[in-house]
Structure 1
Amino acid sequence: MMPNNYNSFNEIDNQLKILSLQKQIYKEHIKLNIKSSKNSLSAINIKSEFKSALQEQVLTFIINNLIKRFK
């Protein structure tokens, strides 16, 4: 970050207000990301992901066994 040259206290105040607003925006982004992460890690989502992964593994096992039997 390059140092700024200010000509008045008003310019400094304006820059401080801008920085304060940017800080608030960043905080809100973090809160939103945390909330989104909590929702994606809920028990229902984890259960459904596990169930689909298990189904995929079972289907792969069955298909592989069927292929071996018909060879």
Structure 2
Amino acid sequence: MKEYSSFDEIERDLKILKLQTQIDKEEIKLSYELTKYNISPLRLIGSMVGSVIQKALVLKGVSKVFGLKKVITSTR
């Protein structure tokens, strides 16, 4: 436990703690807003569509490089 030699030291530490509390509250607010933004329905849909397009382009590029073609099997 810290020992204080004057009231000025106590008041200084109390100010620091109060400011740290305010900073922590602001960080929580920012984190909440960022989370809310990242899980919005439009953002999630956009992310999924982007992922599907990216995978399709990669598959197309790989198939061109390796000469892979779609195989169609008939069921007779």
Distance 2:28 2:47 in 1: 25
1:21 aligns with 2:16: no
May I ask how many residue pairs the two structures share in their alignment?
67
Task: List runs of 5+ in structure 1 lacking aligned partners.
Answer: none
Counterpart position of 1:59: 57
1:13 to partner: Cα distance: 2.0
Distance 2:57 2:12 in 1: 63
Q: TM-score, normalised by structure 2?
A: 0.69
Q: Which has the higher helix share?
A: 1
Counterpart position of 1:50: 48
1:8 to partner: Cα distance: 1.6
Q: Deviations over 1:1-54 (max 9, x none)?
A: xx4331122321221121111111111111111111111211111111100111
Q: TM-score, normalised by structure 1?
A: 0.72
**Which stretch shows the higher mean deviation, 7-16 or 19-28?**
7-16
Which of 4, 7, 24 is the matching residue for 1:6? 4
Counterpart position of 2:72: none
Distance 1:61 1:7 in 2: 71
